[in-house]
Chain A
């Protein structure tokens, strides 16, 4: 098992190095051209670095000889041979690696001859990639830097950022794995002759998940190349507002650009207690963990903590969630408590009002965690196989040397205006690094794309950060869009808000006798007139799929009047929104009287 994992890790490193070499070649070639056109403008101060760059260029030209001459076939063969791009991806015509070697003409406009690039994007995650690709499509010369520092236990990954590598994608796959375990039991209830005394093979699951991620890394690289975004596998730090030094594998490179977009994202925090970094892991490590997590303490009850605890439980491990103060801070608290209760019902204990004090490794390899109840002051301890920190995420500002560029930060984030501009006019920020905005991939993608269109496509359209739908992929999923009940009350006053709510029973739950106790939804609305909907909240199966359309409806000005006159699709759970009729104010029982008509 460990061999497989080692192999898969080896392969990702291999692919990444290879890819770096391969593209550095083309980067070098173009910067070589730039060098001659720009050399007269380059200041004396830059000459040293210029020399370095020439050296680097030569090195890379040498290195890249092989891949560019005979590289095409070798590359494909190698990738196939080590299984880094699984057949599932390469079977599709649009994933055909031939696209790597096609060179569609992209309109190039050299608006800024004095800089190496029109735009340098720092960070190859959702925001950065979307921004970079869109900028190139609008004629800009763009480079994108991406570099992943290993976690304390050594986990690394490829291009694509948090979502693809250690975020939404692997967590949704693990969530799905967990749901499928449940589905096997349900299948038995529906009459399938399966033996449902089942266990997951953690190592097989991790391998499958990592293979998928690698194929996404690969497709992302191909896509960047297709779209002519120069990719630099280096860690960037500012020299001045237009200059950046990128630390590459063996040397450094100075890059100048008219505009910079900071899209470095964030990474999980560790608590400041003994043993946290040595013995604990985070979501950065979990999806490629080379051993079964076993009995796991999940510290933190934000959505990451709850999701991890949810799928670990579904996979048969014993997670406990340690909650410092409240569950799902920032979300509607009634829904948050229902989510917690639904998890509790499935056998996930919650240690409330509790903070960890220390983690020690015992002789048998297990982890002894000491903790304290902050209300009672009572101390306790327990042993776990795995301790997972999900105590929050921090922005990755520290390596950027932002002070050289004069960019102000708030804590570890960057404050931007409504055009994603920092206090330095040619430096922008998008994605999770922005202070006070939702940390979500689609937000990052759209904001990055719109920014590029404003910079290079003559657009004026700004990102609308309001009414962004989101989903917590706990076993019973929670999705919402718009305001929480608390926020609606705060904003409009309790007397001006009407809340429609109801419990419901998904048709499919009856035969396997699944608990319907927490299947609940509500609409928070204006109290008068057609009752504009402020927020929708749903706890139940496939919540993300259910709420997405309603997010579009909210943006279209959905009212209660329209909602309850929308004809339902029977039998679905989403139709329950169209059947909401009981207000909280009425005090009527929101449990369903009948089931089907």
Chain B
């Protein structure tokens, strides 16, 4: 600690006028305490220090029931976007080996299998290096870091202890709660004993084998897909619908794409029990809520992906007077809780997109407002997102349903089309689910309300269009944007068929 304090003092030589002002406020130990060292907390902490604030960041990871732990950086880096993108990439590369054969490479693609251990080691090594860089970065940026769970004593005081040591307290003018969330377990027998979650899968020390993924949100679908791509037999159990909250048509297309690739779906089904058999495998009993039929099957791994809960329980929020909703915290447009000097950012916020870049930007903007005199609020509208299934799905703006709900069926026009990626022909990959649509106003230049794309590298494709949407993209502008040939992104510039016309959205020609 003392080294860090020393560094902090040295660091204050580069402080600006604001920090000089804040140094005057000796009333508190810190200008800002951040609870949670994930995307939101770190971004907020670093930005606050850059603006001259004295910042302390707490981070502590409780082990999962299966015993998995990880380092600094939060969900995204350790058990979220980073490992899942790497596993997704591994799965795509398996596919690429087969494609390479079609393109003439003399690679033996018969019976190729992934080495799960090697993959997990590679992924974990990368994560460890990120943990390390994150630590170094905090050190460079003079953010103090304590590996402990902080809890409120009163609205300005946090109590903690390091590695079972004595309880200590710090006070701070502002507190930012950025503790994020963790996967839920269903309240059934055997769930925590025998099931794992996305918190465990990326460091799982044995091959997952035949896997039941319970839940069809994006975490469930992504996990099912990379497992299938890595050669494991995968079943997805869906309670009601796939990808709740996403565009229905796109969600169903995505499900059809997964089925085509051999992922099995158990619809309107809920699990009732997991037990370990004599051979070590897991017997899962479940019930179809439509047919009321009970059934069971045996799996090597059961992965719960039924949702995530906010980590408020250890924070002792009542001591600070912070109100919660379910397991989340309600904030206003400035990310302030009901207690004016206590804020929340990231996945812990009630009713906002749980996405790393959202967390980062809102954390950073909050710090600028607190310490750099900025007035800029986080704009949570039109946030693009991507589901990393083998054909990826990305979207920005409204779903078709949402557009109809907010604007009325008669006031929206949907342009859509199937397309054929050039690279798919030689390996004869299925183009059946390569589809995209633009949801727009029907009048005038036809302002675009939402864009949806299923196909390769969907995240890369939609990002620029997200910037375009924020710049007021219209259908008129879109159709007069010259395409880049041959790409799949250019298909957006070639959209010409409206759903209303009833015309066939399949492409008649391929290249001009």
Chain A residues engaging chain B, CB cutoff 8 angstroms: 86-89, 92-94, 126, 129-130, 160, 163-164, 168-169, 172-173, 176-177, 180-181, 183-184, 186-187, 189-196, 198-205, 208-209, 212, 215-216, 219-220, 223, 226, 440-443, 445-446, 464, 468-471, 479, 507-508, 510-511, 541-542, 544-553, 555-559, 562-563, 565-575, 577-578, 593-597
* Complex: chain A residue closest to B111, CB-CB: A193
Contacting pair B96 A180 (CB below 8 A) = yes
A441's partner among B385, B463, B485, B493 (CB-CB below 8 A) is B485
The answer to whether A567 and B361 have CB atoms under 8 Å apart is yes
B122 in contact (CB, < 8 A): yes
CB distance from A187 to the nearest CB of B (A): 4
Q: Which B residues from 218 to 260 make CB contacts under 8 A with A?
A: none
Q: Which 8 A-B pairs have the closest CB atoms?
A: A549-B464, A574-B463, A548-B489, A550-B464, A549-B465, A205-B104, A191-B119, A553-B468
Bound-state Cα–Cα, A177 to B96, Å: 10
A196–B489 CA distance with the chains assembled, in angstroms: 31
Say whether A193 contacts B105, CB under 8 Å: no
| Count of interface residues, chain B, beta-carbon cutoff 8 Å | 105
Of the candidate stretches B79-87, B194-202, B272-280, B329-337, the one touching chain A is: B79-87
B467 at the interface (CB under 8 A from A): yes
Q: Is the CB of B485 within 8 A of A163?
A: yes
Bound form: Cα–Cα A595–B136 in Å: 11
* B193 within 8 A of partner (CB): no
User: CB-nearest residue of chain B relative to A447?
Assistant: B482
Which chain A residue lies CB-closest to B491?
A548
| 8 pairs from A and B in contact (CB 8 Å cutoff) | A183-B93, A193-B115, A195-B107, A200-B105, A508-B89, A549-B465, A549-B466, A562-B471
Complex formed: what's the CA distance from A507 to B134 in Å?
Answer: 15
A92 in complex: contacting residue of B97, B118, B431, B474, CB < 8 Å? B431
Contact B483 A442 (CB under 8 A): yes
Say whether, besides A216-B511, A548-B489, A194 and B484 are in contact (CB < 8 Å). no
Report the minimum CB–CB distance from B49 to chain A (whole Å): 13
B-chain residues with CB within 8 Å of residue A126 when the two chains form the complex? 511-512
Does B154 touch A at the CB level, under 8 Å? no
Nearest chain A residue, comparing its CB with the CB of B122: A511
Instruction: Tell me which residues across on chain B come within 8 A of A595, comparing CB atoms.
Output: 130, 133
Measured between alpha carbons, how far is A92 from B386 in the docked complex, in Å?
A: 28
Please state if A180 and B509 are interface contacts (CB–CB under 8 Å).
no
Answer yes or no: B214 CB below 8 A from chain A CBs: no
- Determine if B481 and A551 form an interchain contact, defined as CB atoms under 8 angstroms apart: yes
Given known contacts A508-B85, A597-B134, A548 and B483 CB-to-CB distance under 8 angstroms: yes
A87: chain B residues within 8 A (beta carbon) = 428
Whether A200 pairs with B104 at a CB distance below 8 angstroms is yes
Q: Please, how many angstroms separate the alpha-carbon atoms of A577 and B470 in the complex? A: 14
Write the nearest CB–CB distance from A594 to chain B, whole angstroms.
4
Beyond A200-B106, A220-B512, whether A549 also contacts B113 by CB under 8 A is: no
Q: Does B404 contact A (CB under 8 A)?
A: no
| Distance in angstroms between the alpha carbons of A567 and B357 in the assembled complex | 6
Add 9 more A-B contacts to A445-B483, A555-B468, A555-B480 (CB < 8 A).
Answer: A92-B420, A190-B86, A199-B105, A548-B484, A549-B462, A568-B463, A569-B384, A577-B467, A596-B77
Q: Is B510 an interface residue (CB 8 A)?
A: yes
Query: How long is the Cα–Cα vector from A194 to B118 in the complex, in angstroms?
Result: 13
Please pick, from A192, A209, A565, the residue contacting B470 in the complex, using a CB distance under 8 A.
A565
Find out whether the CB atom of B360 lies under 8 angstroms from the CB atom of A597.
Answer: yes
Partner of A544, one of B123, B394, B489, B493: B489
Residues on B with beta carbons closer than 8 Å to the beta carbon of A93: 506
The residues of A that contact B489 with a CB separation of less than 8 Å are: 544-546, 548-549
Task: Tell whether, in the assembled complex, residue B100 and residue A181 are in contact, meaning their CB atoms are under 8 Å apart.
Answer: yes
A479 touches B357 (CB 8 A): no
What residues of A have a CB within 8 angstroms of the CB of B81 in the complex?
A: 570-571
- Give 1 or 0 for each of B206-222: 1 = CB within 8 Å of chain A CB: 00000000000000000
- Which B residues touch A565, using CB under 8 A? 361, 376, 379, 470
Residues in B356-388 with C-beta less than 8 Å from chain A: 356-358, 360-361, 376, 379, 383-386
Find B464's partner among A186, A553, A593 (CB 8 Å cutoff): A553
Tell whether A471 pairs with B484 under 8 Å between CB atoms, given A189-B122, A192-B97, A216-B510.
Answer: yes
Interfacial residues, chain B to chain A (CB-CB below 8 A) = 38-39, 42-43, 73-74, 76-77, 81-82, 85-86, 89-90, 93-94, 96-97, 99-100, 102-109, 112-119, 122-123, 126, 129-130, 133-134, 137, 140, 355-358, 360-361, 376, 379, 383-386, 394, 420, 422-423, 425-426, 428, 431, 456-457, 459-468, 470-474, 477-478, 480-490, 492-493, 504, 506-512
Question: How many whole Å from B461's CB to the nearest CB in chain A?
Answer: 5
User: Which residue in chain A gives the minimum CB-CB distance to B99?
Assistant: A180
- Nearest chain-B residue to A556 (Cβ)? B471
Nearest CB of B to A533, in Å:
9
Chain A binding site: helix, strand, loop or mixed by DSSP? helix
Q: How far is the CA of A172 from the CA of B423 in the complex (A)?
A: 8
Chain B residues whose C-beta falls within 8 Å of the C-beta of A442 in the assembled complex: 482-485, 490, 493
Q: In the bound complex, what is the Cα–Cα distance between A51 and B325 (angstroms)?
A: 89
Known: A191-B119, A548-B492, A574-B459. Contact between A555 and B485, CB under 8 A?
Answer: no
Q: Are A160 and B109 in contact (CB under 8 A)?
A: no
Please indicate the chain A residues that have their CB under 8 angstroms from the CB of B474 in the complex: 556
**A441 contacts which chain B residues (CB < 8 A)?**
485, 512
Q: Within the assembled complex, what's the spacing in Å between the Cα atoms of A12 and B105?
A: 25
Q: Are B119 and A558 in contact (CB under 8 A)?
A: no
**B386 near A552: Cβ-Cβ < 8 Å:** no
Which one of A86, A172, A559, A596 lies within 8 Å of B486 (CB-CB)? Answer: A172
A212 lies within 8 A of B104 (CB):
no
Given A192-B112, A468-B482, check contact A548 B425 (CB 8 Å).
no
Would you call B467 and A566 a contact (CB within 8 A)? yes
Q: Which of B82, B104, B422, B425 contacts A177 (CB 8 A)?
A: B104
Q: Is the CB of B468 within 8 A of A469?
A: no
Establish whether residues B107 and A198, one from each chain, have CB atoms under 8 Å apart when the complex forms. Answer: yes
Using Cβ atoms and an 8 Å threshold, which residues of chain A touch B77? 596-597
Contacts A511-B122, A569-B357, A569-B385 given; does A555 touch B114 at CB 8 Å: no
Which of these, B134, B385, B511, contacts A220 with CB under 8 Å?
B511
Distance (Å) between the CB of B166 and the closest chain A CB? 31
Q: B160 CB to closest chain A CB, in angstroms?
A: 22
Whether A94 pairs with B493 at a CB distance below 8 angstroms is: no
CA distance A558 to B473 in the complex (A): 10
Nearest residue, chain B, Cβ from A592: B133
In the complex, A136 Cα to B302 Cα: how many Å?
A: 59
Q: How far is the CB of B306 from chain A (nearest CB, A)?
A: 23
**Are the C-beta atoms of B104 and A201 separated by less than 8 Å?**
yes
- In the complex, the answer to whether A562 meets B470 with C-beta atoms within 8 Å is yes
Interchain CB contact under 8 A, A184 and B105: yes
Q: Is the CB of B512 within 8 A of A194?
A: no
- Complex alpha-carbon distance, A542 and B392, angstroms: 14
Q: Are A546 and B511 in contact (CB under 8 A)?
A: no
Residues from chain A with a CB closer than 8 A to the CB of B463 are 546, 549-550, 566, 568-569, 572, 574-575, 577-578
Of all chain A residues, the one with the shortest Cβ separation from B123 is A511
Are A548 and B493 in contact, CB atoms less than 8 angstroms apart?
A: yes
CA distance A87 to B428 in the complex (A): 9
